[in-house]
C-alpha cells in the first residue's frame, strides 16, 4: 500500500510543480493598468488562459486520483 501511495504522490507532484511554475509566470506578467481598469474581465481572462493551458494537466491529476482510489478500494 505504501508503494501505491508513493507512486501516486510522485505523479501528482510533477503536475503540481509544472502548474505552480506557470502560475508564478502569470503573476509576474500581470498588467496592473488593465487590472485596475476592469478587474473582473481581466482576471477572468487570465483564469481562462491558465485553464486552457493546463486542462490536460488538471485532467491527468483527476484521472490519477480516480485510479488511486480504485486501487485503494481493491486492497481494502
In a domain, 48, yes or no: yes
In a domain, 25, yes or no: no
pLDDT in tens, 56-75: 988 988 998 999 999 888 88
Write the CB contacts of 57 (distance below 8 Å, at least 6 apart in sequence).
15, 18, 19
Q: How far apart are CA 65 and CA 59, in angstroms?
A: 10
Full domain range(s) for residue 60: 2-20+31-75
Residue 61: the pLDDT is 87
Is the pLDDT score of 9 beyond 80? yes
Residue with cell 498588467: 31
For residue 33, what is the enclosing H or E element?
Answer: helix 32-37
In a domain, 11, yes or no: yes
In a domain, 63, yes or no: yes
pLDDT in tens, 15-27: 888 888 877 777 7
Let me know: does 4 contact 71? Beta carbons within 8 Å. yes
30 phi and psi, to 5 degrees?
A: -65, 130
Is the pLDDT score of 42 beyond 90? yes
Taking the whole predicted model, whether its pTM rises above 0.85 is answered as no
Amino acid at each position: 500500500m505504501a508503494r501505491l501511495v508513493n507512486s501516486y504522490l510522485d505523479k501528482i507532484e510533477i503536475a503540481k510543480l509544472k502548474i505552480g511554475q506557470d502560475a508564478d509566470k502569470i503573476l509576474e506578467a500581470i498588467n496592473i493598468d488593465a487590472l485596475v481598469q476592469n478587474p473582473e474581465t481581466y482576471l477572468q481572462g487570465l483564469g481562462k488562459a491558465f485553464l486552457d493551458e493546463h486542462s490536460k494537466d488538471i485532467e491527468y491529476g483527476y484521472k490519477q486520483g480516480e485510479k488511486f482510489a480504485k486501487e485503494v478500494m481493491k486492497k481494502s
